[in-house]
Each structure stands twice: as C-alpha cells, then as structure tokens.
C-alpha cells in the first residue's frame, strides 16, 4: 500500500468530507470529530457516489416502540437508495459481513515528518508546520 | 490531486442491442406557472385560489413523507438548484445522454390533476400537463414520448382527452395511477379503455395515486416502508379487476403495463385466480378463458424497483411466468429508488432476454 497525502487537516473540518483521488481511485475522506476515515466513493449496490450522501446516526431499537439514536453523523447514506454504511468500517448496517464499501486506512501526520517520509509525491506543497491527512491505498 | 471527475462514466448497457427504452421518467414543473398557458382563466383562478385537493380527506401532500426530499436522488438537483427533472438540459446531461437512452417515456406525477376531487380542475390540469409535456419536453428532444394524463375518476372527460391526442405520435400511452376510487376494471372506467383502444394506445398504470381509501385492506400503515411495499397489493387488485370484470373480453386489443409496482406477485395471483375460476367460473361466465391467460396476453410489467432475491433463479422463475416478452425496463428517474440500467438488470438473465427487456419489448408494446 502506498501512502497518499490527500489534504491538509484544516481543509476537512469535523463533520466534513472531501472527495479525493489516489492511485486512480475516487475516495471520500470523512472527519468524525478529528478522526479521519476513507471509503471508496462507490456504493456496492448500484455504484452511486457516497460522497453525495447525507450523514446520519444509528437508530436502534430493543423492541417495537423503543428507539435509541446514537453515533450522530457516523453513518453515510447512499444518495440513491438510502443504504446505510458505517463510516468507521465501511460495513453496511443491514448486511455487514457481505455488503460493505472498501475502507482505506487514514491517519494524520505532521508536515515535518511527511517532507522526509516515503510518501507519494502530491501536487500541493507540504508545509512543515501543518498537519495532513494520509490515506493508504 | 483532488480533481473530481464524474463518478460513473457515461455509457449504456452492453446488452441493450435492441435499443434502450425507459418506460418511467418523471418530469416535474419548476413551478405551477408553467401550466398557465394551457389553462383557461377560470381554471387558473380556481387552481391558484382554491388549490389542489387530492382524494384524501383533509390531508395535503404525500400520504407518507418520503425518505428523500421530493422523493428524489440527492444528485438530481440542477446546477442552479433546479428541482429534480424540471430542466431538460440537466436531464439530458445527467440521464438521457449519460446512459445513451434511445427513447424515454414521460410519466408526470403530482401536480397533474389526477385523483383530484374536483372533476373540472382535474380535467383542466390533466390537459395542461399534456400540453406542457409537449411544449417543455417532447418538442425539444426527439427521444422523449409523452403520456396522456387523464382525469380518470371522470371517464367521459378522460376519453375526450384521449381522443384529442388521436394519431399524435408524440404520445405513447394513457396514464393512470394504481390507487383509484374503485377498482379499475369496473364499468365506470370503461370509456377510458374504449377511447384508448380506438386510438390504439396502451394503458400505463403507475404506482401511487389517491383513492380516498386507506392504502391497505387493513387500514393505514404506520411506516413509509409499508407504503412502498403496498404497491404490490394495489397492483394485484387492479390486475384482478381488469381480468375478472371482462375488460379484455370487451376490448381485446387493450394492453396494460404495471409501472413501479414490482412483479414478483404476478405468478401468485395468476395461480390463485385460475384455481378459483375453476370452482367459481359460473359467477363470471363472461370470462372465456382462464384468468392467467388474459394476464399473459394483456398485462405487462416494468422492472423498477426490480425484486432482488438472494437466489437469482427466483427472479428468473417469476420473469419466466410473466413472459420474457412482457417485461419493460424502467428507471424511475429522478426518484431516489432509481435503477441504473447497467446494474439493475442482473447479468444472470440471458443476454437476449436482457436485450428484450431493455428495448425490444417496449418497442413492441408502445409500437415505437
């Protein structure tokens, strides 16, 4: 896996997302409260772009009539058929073992480390004093 | 870096060797003023003063809120924020050109006047919507065909609207909804079928509408997911009514297509009707053949939303029963449950049958 610097951290605020390209793949990068996650930008159902989907939480129920809402903003819904995917894992809610969108490791690294590291060259300048989102593809 | 190209490259299904025909596209007016040139002063006054009253008691809007704004794909708004399928240029770019459609059938939904409790307004709006389809859509893109929107609760007015369009090749079907105040086979609706048979057009029956009754036999459901599943049962009631009332005996050239109703239920009602007809035939002596024979001669179905069983052979079995020549591709663009033609029609269906579904069957059905 090659490491790709895809954005400066402050370009994707918490709750935000950015569509990027790395290794010829379209990848959508999400910021969940400072943690970054990267998913292939293609729904496994009919191929729509997940980057155009809304974020929602997880609505669960112990029994009919009792509902719990949690993990606000951590699920992305396909903009066509509303399938729910967990941004942290890429797994669908209704069939997590078999229906999932490919997830790529993502993390933050300091510019000072990146300017020396074995990373894919990107077309924007990396500043030593800034932090960057790195996706492994 | 960060150069965003369209996610899905343009292209049509490789199996569409007999052309790509979509029998379910939903154009929308950006605002009601688009209908104004096609309405009388009196009816425009009524519309703008008293509004639209669906056959739904005091309820306004959708019977159930949709899962998505305007029930549409979230990428279906135009670059200037135009509502989904309201701007021909964007529809061409995002849909017609993108998938390489040869022919697309327009099925205008609300506001279309259909199911309105006021017969005169219903007829006036339906007429305006028909003129609007030509002026805003069909006359600007030769790939598009219009549906004759009729105020179906007033069958005489509907027949008049159908006859106005006789011989106009820009229209390819008469459009009804699946929820009507009485089952569609009843005689009060027969003037519609008489006129359709006379002008040589088939009937398209699209899911939804306003019947004035609860949408399930057991009353009002609690959830939208129940509403979208219910289309199968209202479609069953309509198909059974067409067959049992003898509509196809009286109008032997008439053909109907059930649009957006699914089709997995078709074999089941065919079996049940046949079984009961053997026992109760003398109640309906006007039927000269088993009910399923009428179904397999006169009733067509569309694909979207296609059933997606875990075992592909279950889908093949249902399609086999219906008839490979009576299944038409539909996209439902721009709605949220849209079916991409390259993916929705699974590849385990033999290629020549997919070709029929994509184009050949619709060309025969609509005589395109």
What 3 state SS string does chain A have? CCEEEEEEHHHCCCCCEEEEEECCEEEEEEEECCEEEEEECCCCCCCCCHHHCCEEEEEEEEECCEEEEEEEEEEEECCCCCCEEECCCCEECCCCCCCECCEECEEEEEHHHHCCCCCCCCCCCCCCCCEEEEEEC
Residue B133: pLDDT band with limits 50, 70, 90: very high
Determine whether the interchain pair A18/B2 forms a contact, defined as Cβ–Cβ distance below 8 Å. yes
pLDDT greater than 60 at residue B353: yes
Residue B3 has its nearest CB partner, among A21, A54, A82, at A21
Buried (b) or exposed (e) across A56-81, using 16+ Cβ within 10 A? beeeeeeeeeeeeeeeebbbbbbbbb
CA distance B177 to B259: 9
pLDDT greater than 80 at residue A118: no
Buried (b) or exposed (e) across B171-192, using 16+ Cβ within 10 A? bbbbbbbbbbbebbbeeebbbb
Global confidence as pTM: 0.91
CA distance B264 to chain A (A): 20
pLDDT greater than 60 at residue B4: no
Please check whether residue B5 lies inside any domain of the structure. Answer: no
Average pLDDT, chain A: 91
Nearest Cα to A78, choosing from A97, A61, A99, A59? A99
Lowest mean pLDDT among A25-39, B52-66, B236-250: B52-66
pLDDT tens, position by position, A19-37: 999 999 999 999 999 999 9
Question: What CATH number is given to the structural domain containing A78?
Answer: 2.102.10.10
- Better pLDDT: B267 or B1: B267
Q: What angle do CA B197, B130, B259 make, to 5 degrees?
A: 60
Phi/psi at B162 (nearest 5 deg)? Answer: -65, -45
**Residue A120 confidence (pLDDT):** 60
- Provide, as residue numbers in chain B, all residues whose Cβ is less than 8 Å from the Cβ of A46: 339-340, 343-344
Residue of B nearest to A11 (CA): B2
Answer yes or no: are the C-beta atoms of B12 and B100 closer than 8 Å. yes
Q: What is the DSSP string of B234-246?
A: HHHHHHHHHHHTT
CA distance B339 to B73: 11
- Provide, as residue numbers in chain B, all residues whose Cβ is less than 8 Å from the Cβ of A124: 1
- State mean pLDDT over A50-74: 94
pLDDT tens, position by position, B272-319: 999 999 999 999 999 999 999 999 999 999 999 999 999 999 999 999
**Residue B2 confidence (pLDDT):** 39
pLDDT greater than 60 at residue A126: yes
Give helix B312-322 / helix B266-280 axis angle, nearest 10°.
Answer: 50
Lowest mean pLDDT among B124-133, B170-179, B215-224: B215-224
Cα dihedral value B218, B293, B267, B197, nearest 10: -60
Determine whether the interchain pair A26/B3 forms a contact, defined as Cβ–Cβ distance below 8 Å. no
Determine whether the interchain pair A18/B336 forms a contact, defined as Cβ–Cβ distance below 8 Å. no
To the nearest whole percent, how much of chain B has pLDDT over 70? Answer: 97
Q: Which two tokens stand for residue B186?
A: 């009843």
**Residue B348 confidence (pLDDT):** 96
Determine whether the interchain pair B7/A41 forms a contact, defined as Cβ–Cβ distance below 8 Å. yes
A87/B contact by beta carbon, under 8 A:
no
Determine whether the interchain pair B337/A80 forms a contact, defined as Cβ–Cβ distance below 8 Å. yes
Answer yes or no: are the C-beta atoms of A127 and A9 closer than 8 Å. no
Average pLDDT, chain B: 94
Kindly tell me the sign of the dihedral angle through the C-alpha atoms of B291, B295, B296, B297: positive
Q: Which two tokens stand for residue B116?
A: 């309105």
Interface contacts (A, B; CB < 8 Å): 55
Determine whether the interchain pair B7/A7 forms a contact, defined as Cβ–Cβ distance below 8 Å. no
Please check whether residue B14 lies inside any domain of the structure. Answer: no
Task: Sort B142 into a burial class: Cβ within 10 Å, 0-12 / 13-18 / 19+.
Answer: exposed
Question: What CATH number is given to the structural domain containing B342?
Answer: 3.20.20.140
Q: Which domain holds residue A45?
A: 3-136
pLDDT tens, position by position, B10-37: 899 999 999 999 999 999 999 999 999 9
CA distance A114 to B261: 56
- Provide, as residue numbers in chain B, all residues whose Cβ is less than 8 Å from the Cβ of A6: 1-2
How large is the ipTM? 0.78
Identify the top-confidence range among A120-129, B50-59, B156-165: B156-165
Residue B63: pLDDT band with limits 50, 70, 90: confident
Residue B75 has its nearest CB partner, among A18, A19, A52, at A52
Q: How far is CA A57 from CA A27, A38, A93, B122, B179, in A?
A: 21, 18, 11, 42, 34
Answer yes or no: are the C-beta atoms of A4 and A59 closer than 8 Å. no
pLDDT greater than 70 at residue B266: yes
Nearest Cα to B339, choosing from B273, B259, B282, B268? B259
Q: Which two tokens stand for residue A59?
A: 């609505």
Q: What angle do CA B89, B143, A49 make, to 5 degrees?
A: 50
Residue B74 has its nearest CB partner, among A7, A18, A79, at A79
**Residue B311 confidence (pLDDT):** 97
To the nearest whole percent, how much of chain B has pLDDT over 90? Answer: 89
CA distance A33 to chain B (A): 22
Q: What is the number of domains present in chain A?
A: 1
Q: Which domain holds residue B51?
A: 21-366
CA distance B239 to B247: 10
**Residue A18 confidence (pLDDT):** 96
**Residue A27 confidence (pLDDT):** 97
- Better pLDDT: A105 or B215: A105
- Provide, as residue numbers in chain B, all residues whose Cβ is less than 8 Å from the Cβ of A49: 7-8, 75
Determine whether the interchain pair B336/A82 forms a contact, defined as Cβ–Cβ distance below 8 Å. yes
Please check whether residue B7 lies inside any domain of the structure. Answer: no
- Provide, as residue numbers in chain A, all residues whose Cβ is less than 8 Å from the Cβ of B67: 82
CA distance B1 to chain A (A): 6
pLDDT tens, position by position, B79-111: 999 999 999 999 999 999 999 999 999 999 989
CA distance B334 to chain A (A): 9
**Residue B28 confidence (pLDDT):** 97
Please check whether residue B3 lies inside any domain of the structure. Answer: no
Q: How far is CA B40 from CA A12, B46, B114, B124, in A?
A: 54, 10, 18, 8
Determine whether the interchain pair B74/A20 forms a contact, defined as Cβ–Cβ distance below 8 Å. no
């Amino acid at each position: 896996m090659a490491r790709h610097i895809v954005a400066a951290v402050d370009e994707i605020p918490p709750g935000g997302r950015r569509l990027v390209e790395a290794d010829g793949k379209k990848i959508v990068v999400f910021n969940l409260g400072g943690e970054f996650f990267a998913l292939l930008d293609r729904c496994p159902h009919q191929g729509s772009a997940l980057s155009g989907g809304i974020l929602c939480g997880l609505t669960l129920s112990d029994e009919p009539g009792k509902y719990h809402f949690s993990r606000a903003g951590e699920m992305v819904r396909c903009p066509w058929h509303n399938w729910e995917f967990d941004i942290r894992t890429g797994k669908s809610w209704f069939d997590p073992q078999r229906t999932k969108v490919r997830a790529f490791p993502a993390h933050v690294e300091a510019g000072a480390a990146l300017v020396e590291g074995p990373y894919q060259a990107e077309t924007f300048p990396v500043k030593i004093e800034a932090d960057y989102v790195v996706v492994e593809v | 870096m960060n150069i965003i190209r369209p996610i899905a490259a343009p292209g049509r299904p490789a199996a569409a060797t007999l052309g790509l025909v979509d029998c379910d596209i939903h154009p929308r007016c950006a605002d009601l003023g688009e209908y104004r040139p096609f309405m009388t002063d009196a009816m425009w006054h009524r519309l703008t003063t008293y509004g639209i009253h669906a056959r739904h008691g005091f309820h306004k809007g959708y019977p159930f809120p949709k899962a998505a704004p305007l029930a549409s794909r979230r990428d279906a708004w135009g670059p200037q924020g135009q509502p989904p399928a309201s701007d021909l240029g964007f529809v061409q770019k995002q849909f017609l050109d993108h998938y390489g459609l040869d022919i697309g059938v327009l099925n205008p939904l609300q506001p279309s006047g259909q199911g309105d409790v006021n017969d005169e307004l219903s007829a006036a709006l339906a007429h305006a919507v028909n003129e609007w389809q030509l002026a805003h859509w069909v006359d600007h893109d030769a790939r598009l065909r219009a549906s004759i929107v009729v105020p179906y609760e007033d069958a005489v007015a509907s027949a008049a609207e159908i006859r106005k369009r006789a011989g106009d090749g820009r229209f390819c079907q008469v459009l009804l909804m699946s929820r009507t105040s009485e089952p569609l086979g009843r005689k009060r609706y027969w003037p519609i079928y008489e006129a359709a048979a006379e002008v040589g057009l088939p009937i398209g029956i699209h899911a939804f509408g306003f019947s004035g009754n609860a949408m399930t036999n057991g009353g009002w459901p609690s959830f939208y997911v129940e509403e979208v599943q219910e289309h199968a049962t209202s479609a069953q009631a309509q198909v059974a009514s067409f067959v049992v009332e003898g509509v196809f005996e009286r109008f032997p050239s008439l053909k109907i297509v059930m649009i957006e109703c699914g089709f997995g239920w078709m074999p089941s009602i065919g079996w049940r009707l046949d079984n009961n007809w053997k026992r109760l035939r003398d109640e309906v002596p006007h039927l000269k053949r088993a009910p399923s024979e009428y179904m397999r001669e006169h009733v067509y179905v569309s694909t979207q939303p296609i059933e997606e069983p875990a075992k592909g052979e279950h889908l093949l079995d249902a399609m086999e029963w219906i008839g490979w020549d009576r299944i038409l591709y539909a996209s439902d663009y721009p709605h949220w449950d849209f079916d991409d033609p390259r993916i929705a029609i699974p590849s385990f269906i033999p290629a020549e049958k997919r070709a029929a579904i994509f184009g050949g069957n619709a060309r025969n059905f609509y005589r395109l």
